Amino acid sequence: MAVTHTERAATPLDTFPRLLLNHAATRGDRPATREKYLGIWQTWNWSQVAGEVRAIASGLAELGFKRGDNLAIIGDNRPRLYWSMCAAQMLGGVPVPMYQDAVAAEMAFVLTDGEIRFAIVEDQEQVDKLLEIKDQCPSLQHILYDDPRGMRHYTQTYLQGLDEVVAMGRIHDKNQPDFIPSEVALGSAEDVAVMLYTSGTTGKPKGVCLTHGTFIAAATSGVDFDHLTEQEDILSYLPMAWVGDHLFSYAQALVAGFTINCPESGDTVMTDLREIGPTYYFAPPRVFENLLTTVMIRMEDAGALKRNMFHYFMAVAKRCGSDILDAKPNVSTADRLLYALGNVLIYGPLRNVLGMSRIRVAYTAGAAIGPDLFRFYRSIGVNLKQLYGATETCAAVCLQPDREIKFDSVGKPAPGVEVKIADNGEVLVRGKLLLKEYYRRPKDTAEAIDAEGWFHTGDAGFFDDDGHLKIIDRAKDVGKLADGAIFAPNYIENKLKFFQYIKEAVCFGHDRDMVCAFINIDVGAVGNWAERRGLPYSGYTDLAAKSEVLELIRECVEQVNADLSHDVMVAETQVHRFLILHKELDPDDDELTRTRKVRRGFVAEKYQVLIDALYTGKTSQFIETQVKFEDGRSGMVSADLAICEVKTFPVMKKAA
Amino acid sequence: MSGRKIGEVILDLKNITLRFGGVTALEDISFDVREHEVRAIIGPNGAGKSSMLNVINGVYRPQEGDIILRGEHHANMDSYGAAKAGLARTFQNIALFKGMSVLDNIMTGRNLKMKANLLQQAVWFGPAQREELEHREKVEEIIDFLEIQHIRKTPVGRLPYGLQKRVDLARALAMEPQILLLDEPMAGMNVEEKQDMSRFILDVNDQFGTTVVLIEHDMGVVMDISDRVVVLDYGKKIGDGTPDEVRANPDVISAYLGASH
């Protein structure tokens, strides 16, 4: 490194490239990035990473990438894609990570909207997508690919392997060793560090511009809050375009100097998780849900002895596990002993299977997590906490402090963040972690941030007596039943989704006299259930239409109703009728966002005929739907859907 | 890595006749395979496709005819000799060790290339260990190539059919063959699995320059991925040429594709 200690001490560490160079100088031998390749974990230490990043940056500069340019990054979590982000920042450019499973048309929108000239992509698959839409994106001039496999016959001159660019960059860097340091010196904390596109639950995606200063402040507050050190290991497997991954795998890794580990492929995450044993972990609720479902399926298949042991000790854990984790004094000695035994027999091995043996802190965010799901992980000794935030706030607004965990709140405002509730129940945020602007959308920016600097999150919530924030739902989703009772669809859906058999649920009820629901079954869990009962089925549609499955789901919904009836606030919103959809809701069909949140309005419109059937008292309804396959072709799915009535319960007074 | 440029004739089959007692499975069949090409053998059930493949890699010995591999006559080819000569194959009914892991199954494909003797392998430390590491690296490359990292340690018997087929291909590839014989690599697969398999076959052909001889029922696949097609019917050759030529051949149309084409 050409930069010496004295020079660095003079410049504050207020941009990501400066942080990187600092790590290279102060802890150059510590592992920075690992990736499993050919079955072996390959490690790059901080000084190697700094060298790679310099090479990529020099190569990009050689190709004409300059201050102010935007660099699209598309692919799975590969080390070189993370490094490319920093390389773009070194040159004063802005990385724009994009969802790798987006279809070509969606990419075209972001590429045009972000006026992107350079794209670094993972492999042939992504290159093909870009070539398909290149004509629609006049600004796109260079496409670089990380993995050369299958690329030998592409002759387009604007296509280049990252290997060549890096080789070119190394020569360039050697000839002009002062170029990169001088570019880094030009950077300032006020520069936009990254542009993340919102998932678009609310219309077209918008580019959220976040500055170095903002993101470093957000990352630092998280690092201090949980006392993260350079010793942490995390597994980076979430989409790079998601603000959560950017915060944990990029910003916090650079602030704290810990190690990120890239899985071998998307399918090996479970194995890789066990091998790495991360100490710090972050996942949206869906991942925790899937993990739990896998465990539950395997337990159902286990022998009677193991199964009974599991259920016995899980009951113990449910009773006292989270209190023990929170170091509360009110646990009896007998329970403590039982829990210790359970820890040896069940919880420890279970944590090991889940790859969570070493976890100090785990976070979940991105959507509300079902309290039961949350309780499960805490009760087996995983310090799972919730955080609340949005792309516009660098993900971190509220965090749950250690030992102050409430299952239904998202915690207290992070240090340096102000939160208040507007009159309509909307959560407002102010502080230094707010976005600079929406890219080229001053009107949207003005709408989102009011004159006093409050950012309108669009979520409805309230503070409880201890100052913990509770999020009920998206502000615009919260409605009222015809009789005036508050209807929070997400709240009910999350309760439904906690059942392993239910993958997705969509509830309706605004301005109606009762609540009705669409259900997606979980093919894995229900399929396993069906197999054990000797029920033959050919696929999702067939399985979903079985009367036995309908009965199974009805029992689940009934339990949710019983649960809802205990809470006066929501007792009126028990589910009266439901149906099981004939296809899985899919982002390719625009029914879910890329982060897999339901696009409620779209779904309601698309399946209007089903909603009508639910509310007009029909017992079945025929539907035919077009579906898109991953390769862009489409086909039709049709089915006769049975509509099921569910028992509801009288409102009960809350006991104690 | 050699490029995919179709070269000289590498395998030449001349007047092959194969009889099982009174049944003539193959009658006077001649065709050739050029280096780096994808050559398909098609035909209705019982046309003699698998027999043809079995003749090529020495499982069956033809009563008449000659097999010329890289200019050398191999009239008496046996399976060991075929493997030595750089021919690897996959099987219609998947010939893998069901109880062994994917990794171990693929390692068996390296068997012929292992030099350590039984004693050395039993002691393992030293030369055998070094050798195994080298082979393991090669196998890992194939695992990466065929994207089966997630099932590395899974016993083959527990895998779905489509993945077993891929493992079968991986095992054949582990031999680093010059000619790869694929017996219905896509039988019993759904559309998506067929697409994946086609892509892998083309990738193998493209990346390693491996010559591919394949038997396939799915006409769409055959016409898409092969350079030349030979058509068999009741043990006789009734067509030979590029997919377009074969498609236009009246004998082929009546025998196989059906009158409507």
Per-residue pLDDT tens digits for A116-132:
999 999 999 999 999 99
- State the nearest Cα–Cα gap between B117 and chain A, in angstroms: 27
Are B171 and B189 in contact, with CB atoms under 8 Å apart? no
Report the residue from A149, A268, A631 with minimal CB separation from B150.
A268
ipTM of this complex prediction, to 2 decimal places: 0.79
CA distances in angstroms from A605 to A77, A349, A508, A609, A621, listed in the order given: 35, 46, 12, 9, 16
Q: Does the CB of A633 have a partner CB in chain B at under 8 Å?
A: no
Q: How many CB atoms lie within 10 A of CB A254?
A: 27
| Nearest by Cα to A477 from A581, A386, A603 | A603
User: How many angstroms from the chain centroid is the CA of residue A504?
Assistant: 16
| Residue linked to tokens 């509310």 | A615
Q: What does each C-alpha distance from A161 to A129, A156, A157, A419, B199 come to in angstroms?
A: 16, 12, 11, 46, 21
User: Which residues in chain A touch residue B203, judged by CB atoms under 8 angstroms apart?
Assistant: 149-150
Q: Say whether pLDDT at A654 is over 60.
A: no
Kindly report the nearest CA distance between residue B67 and chain A, in angstroms: 33
What is the structure's pLDDT at A14? 93
CB pairs under 8 A between A and B: 34
- On average, the pLDDT of chain A sits at 88
| Confidence band for A375, pLDDT divided at 50, 70 and 90 | confident
Range with the lowest mean pLDDT among A101-115, A397-411, B38-52? A397-411
**Domains of chain B, CATH where assigned:** 1-86+177-261 (3.40.50.300), 97-175 (no CATH)
Compute the average pLDDT of residues B43-50. Answer: 86
Within 8 A of A39 by CB-CB distance, chain B residues are 136, 140, 143, 149, 152
Contact assessment for residue A413 and residue A455, using Cβ atoms and an 8 Å cutoff: no
pLDDT at A2: 44
pLDDT score at A195:
95
Question: Do A150 and B152 lie within an 8 Å CB cutoff?
Answer: no
Tokens of A313: 């000790």
Residues A13-28: pLDDT tens digits?
999 999 999 999 999 9
pLDDT score at A201: 55
Q: Which two tokens stand for residue B37?
A: 């090409």
**Which span out of A145-159, A192-206, B63-77 was modeled with the highest average pLDDT?**
A145-159
The pLDDT of residue A199 is: 67
pLDDT digits (tens, 9 = 90+) for A428-438: 999 888 999 99
Q: Select the residue from A36, A38, A152 to test the B interface by mutation, using most B Cβ atoms within 10 A.
A: A38
Chain A CB contacts of B3 below 8 Å: 152
Look at residue A396 in the predicted model and tell me its pLDDT.
82
The tokens of A471 are what? 């999020």
Q: Which CATH architecture is the domain A5-206+243-263 placed in?
A: 3-Layer(aba) Sandwich (3.40)
Average pLDDT over residues A370-395: 87
A479-645 CATH? 3.30.300.30
Q: Report, as an integer, the average pLDDT of A165-184.
A: 94
Q: Report the gap between the CA of A524 and the closest CA in chain B (Å).
A: 15
Q: What is the pLDDT of residue B99?
A: 94
- Tokens representing residue A590 in the block: 């625009």
Contact by Cβ (8 Å): A644, A577: yes
pLDDT digits (tens, 9 = 90+) for A315-366: 999 888 888 888 888 889 999 999 999 999 999 999 999 999 999 999 998 7
- The helices-and-strands tally (H runs, E runs) of chain A is 25, 28
CB neighbours (10 Å) of residue B13? 21
The model's confidence at residue B257, banded by pLDDT at 50, 70 and 90, is low
Residue B223: band (very low, low, confident or very high) from pLDDT cuts 50, 70, 90: confident
Q: What does the domain layout of chain A look like in residue ranges?
A: 5-206+243-263, 283-474, 479-645
Question: For A95, phi and psi rounded to 5 degrees?
Answer: -75, 140
Contacts of A521 (CB under 8 A, 6+ apart): A501, A502, A503, A540, A543, A544, A549, A553, A580
Residues of A in contact with B207 (CB under 8 A): 149-150, 152
Q: How confident is the model at residue A627 (pLDDT cuts 50, 70, 90)?
A: confident
Residue A232 has pLDDT above 80, yes or no: yes
Could you give the percent of chain A with pLDDT greater than 90?
A: 54
CATH superfamily, region A283-474: ANL, N-terminal domain (3.40.50.12780)
Q: How confident is the model at residue B197 (pLDDT cuts 50, 70, 90)?
A: very high
Sort A5 into a burial class: Cβ within 10 Å, 0-12 / 13-18 / 19+: exposed
Q: Which of A406, A65, A353, A100 has the alpha carbon at shortest distance from A245?
A: A100
What share of chain B has pLDDT > 90, as a percent? 46
pLDDT score recorded for residue A652: 65
Q: In what order do the strands lie in the sheet with A412-413?
A: A280-283, A361-364, A384-388, A398-399, A412-413
| Token pair recorded at residue A344 | 């040896």
Chain A residues touching B140 at Cβ < 8 A? 38-40
- Are B195 and A631 a contacting pair at CB < 8 A? yes
Chain B contact for A536 (CB, 8 A cutoff): no
Model pLDDT, residue A634? 79
Nearest to B150 among A38, A265, A631 (CB): A265
Higher pLDDT, B58 or A651: B58
pLDDT given for residue A5 in this prediction: 44
| Average pLDDT value over all residues in chain B | 87
pLDDT band for position A488 (cuts 50, 70, 90): confident
- The residue of chain B with its CA nearest to that of A151 is B207
Which tops the pLDDT comparison, A476 or A541?
A: A541
Residue with structure tokens 């693929």?
Answer: B106
User: Which of B3, B144, B147 shows the shortest C-beta gap to A38?
Assistant: B144
Structure tokens at A453: 């600097």
Q: What is the pLDDT of residues A544-592, one digit of tens each?
A: 999 999 999 999 999 999 888 876 667 888 999 999 998 889 888 888 8
In this structure, what are the phi and psi dihedrals at residue A384, rounded to the nearest 5 degrees?
Answer: -85, 135
Is the Cβ–Cβ distance between A277 and A233 less than 8 Å? yes
pLDDT digits (tens, 9 = 90+) for B74-97: 877 788 888 888 899 998 888 899
Residue A656: what pLDDT? 36
Task: State whether A39 and B147 contact (CB < 8 Å).
Answer: no
Q: Same CATH topology for A283-474 and A479-645?
A: no
A653 in contact with B, Cβ within 8 Å: no
**Binary contact (B150, A39; C-beta < 8 A):** no
In this prediction, residues A452-481 reach a mean pLDDT of 84
**pLDDT band of A144, cuts 50, 70, 90:** very high
**Is B207 touching A (CB cutoff 8 A)?**
yes
**CB neighbours (10 Å) of residue B114?**
15
The arithmetic mean of pLDDT across residues A254-278, rounded, is 92
Q: For the residues of A604-616, what is the DSSP string, one character each?
A: HHHTHHHHHHHHT
pLDDT value for A46: 97
CA distance A215 to chain B (A): 35
pLDDT in tens, A279-328: 999 988 888 888 888 888 888 888 999 999 999 999 999 888 888 888 88
Residues above pLDDT 70, as percent of chain A: 96
Nearest CA in chain A to B142: A38
Q: d(Cα A404, Cα A353) in Å, to the nearest integer?
A: 27
State the Cα–Cα distance between residues B106 and B171, nearest whole angstrom.
4
CA-based nearest distance A130→chain B, Å: 19
Residues 145-164 of B with CB under 8 A from A: 145, 147, 149-150, 152-153
Looking at residue B77, its pLDDT comes to 77
Distance CA A43, CA A28 (A): 13
pLDDT band at A4 (very low <50, low <70, confident <90, very high): very low
* Mutate: best of B150, B152, B194, B203, partner A, most A CBs <10 A: B150
3-state secondary structure of A358: coil
pTM: 0.81
**Number of other residues whose CB lies within 10 A of the CB of residue A534:** 6
Measured between CB atoms, which of B147, B152, B203 is closest to A39? Answer: B152
Do the strands B9-20 and B23-34 form a parallel or antiparallel pair, or are they unpaired? antiparallel
Amino acid (1-letter code) at residue B116: A
- In chain B, what residues touch A153 (CB-CB under 8 Å)? 206
